[in-house]
Structure 1
Amino acid sequence: MLFSGSLFMTSGSAQAATVTTSASSKANAVIATGKRYMGVPYKFGAKTGNTSSFDCSSFTQFIYRQNGVSIPRTSRQQSKVGTFVPRSQLKPGDLVFFYSPVHHVAVYIGDGKILHTYGKGGVKISNLNSGWWSDHYNSARRVL
């Protein structure tokens, strides 16, 4: 009986590790896709699927969709999908939201950095943990 329990635990642990690895791999793929568009101009209301310009939510929707994950179009809609994540538990691939009410979204890429697009310079990486982005942080959601 103890032997069977050990096999069950090992099997369950292996399954949990596979799920974690899968989410981590998917997050890495989403981030890599986003980084390919560094510098692409920001344009409010950019059409979904357009890669010559993005707004914040068309960017996140596009890079997730390129990796098989469907999320809504607007930042406010995106802030309601997946599961809530406390700021202290952010993982790469989490969606991070700003302002109240929400009207900006970014992708957490690890080490206190976010990948997003806004204003001059378009798609870029910014520091979440200092200055403006830290002050205007609202919430985060895990969709992977």
Structure 2
Amino acid sequence: MTLSTRLAAAFSALCLLLSAGGQTRADEIENLLNRQSDRQQILRQFENSGTGSPAPAKKPLAQIIPAAQPAAAASTASGSADELIRSAMGLLGVAYRYGGTSARTGFDCSGFMQHIFRRSMGLNLPRTSAEQAKMGTHVNRGELQAGDMVFFRTMGGGRISHVGLYIGNNRFIHAPRTGKSIEITSLSNKYWGSKYAFGRRVKKHDTARFIN
């Protein structure tokens, strides 16, 4: 099978997985990307038409990965949110590394968020998840939109100790822990659902992006 045929097959399979809604398994998407020799080529096909013809204008990811609030998705899960999600998806499979802040050596959860917000929106988030949890504006769980940050209390007590990026359909992308790689996980997951704290929304051209 030629590389182009494999890429086309991978693109089709990825679209089917993403359209499966909240039941999509994170490891299926991650393994699909990791099996290919050139992840970036697959992601470019994912962003474009995948037909082999000249690439059309990029289709907003809000149409591919719908947000939890469909009526608001078209206006809020576009622009900078699209860029955040594209940047995050391009790092699927990168290893977790405690204290890590680069794609070359690996990321921890807050280093991953720092990287994608700086690259996609030109914003410099604080270094830790607890500090990032003070950025922007509070978002209730039922009002999450693609591009929001989601925070967790994984260490007990009230301290925020983990962060990820919400991508819609009750799912988020994050760097989970040592021994794992950046992956997509459902908020319905028993562990992560029990540790969920709240969401925060940071917009590129909004004064609320500053620490409250």
Report TM bin, short chain: 0.7 to 0.9
Quick check: 2:77–2:146 contact (8 Å CA) kept in 1? no
The counterpart of 2:103, out of the listed 51, 58, 67, is: 51
1:70-122 deviations in whole A, cap 9, x for unaligned? 21111000000100000010000100000031010000000000000023331
| 1:133 and 2:192 are equivalent in the alignment | yes
- Output the CA distance in 2 between the equivalents of 1:121 and 1:76: 21
TM score, norm. by length of structure 1: 0.80
C-alpha deviation, 1:51, in angstroms: 1.2
The share of aligned pairs that are identical, in percent, is: 38
Q: What SS is found at the alignment partner of 2:130?
A: helix
- Output the CA distance in 2 between the equivalents of 1:126 and 1:66: 22
Matching residue's letter, 1:51:
A
- Output the CA distance in 1 between the equivalents of 2:86 and 2:162: 21
Matching residue's letter, 1:83:
T
- Output the CA distance in 1 between the equivalents of 2:182 and 2:189: 19
Q: What SS is found at the alignment partner of 1:24?
A: coil
TM score, norm. by length of structure 2: 0.55
Quick check: 2:136–2:202 contact (8 Å CA) kept in 1? yes
| 1:106 and 2:164 are equivalent in the alignment | yes
Determine the structure 2 residue equivalent to 1:85: 139
Determine the structure 2 residue equivalent to 1:38: 92
Q: What SS is found at the alignment partner of 1:84?
A: strand
Determine the structure 1 residue equivalent to 2:3: none
Inter-CA distance 81–39: structure 2 relative to 1 (3 Å threshold): same
- Output the CA distance in 1 between the equivalents of 2:181 and 2:189: 20
Matching residue's letter, 1:29:
E
Inter-CA distance 76–63: structure 2 relative to 1 (3 Å threshold): same
Q: Which runs of 4+ in 1 moved over 2 A?
A: 20-24
Q: What SS is found at the alignment partner of 2:78?
A: helix
Quick check: 2:76–2:145 contact (8 Å CA) kept in 1? no
C-alpha deviation, 1:130, in angstroms: 3.0
- Output the CA distance in 1 between the equivalents of 2:187 and 2:163: 12
Determine the structure 2 residue equivalent to 1:96: 150
Q: What SS is found at the alignment partner of 1:61?
A: helix
Q: Larger relative CO (CA 8 A, sep 6+): 1 or 2?
A: 1
Unpaired runs of 5+ residues, structure 1, are: 1-19
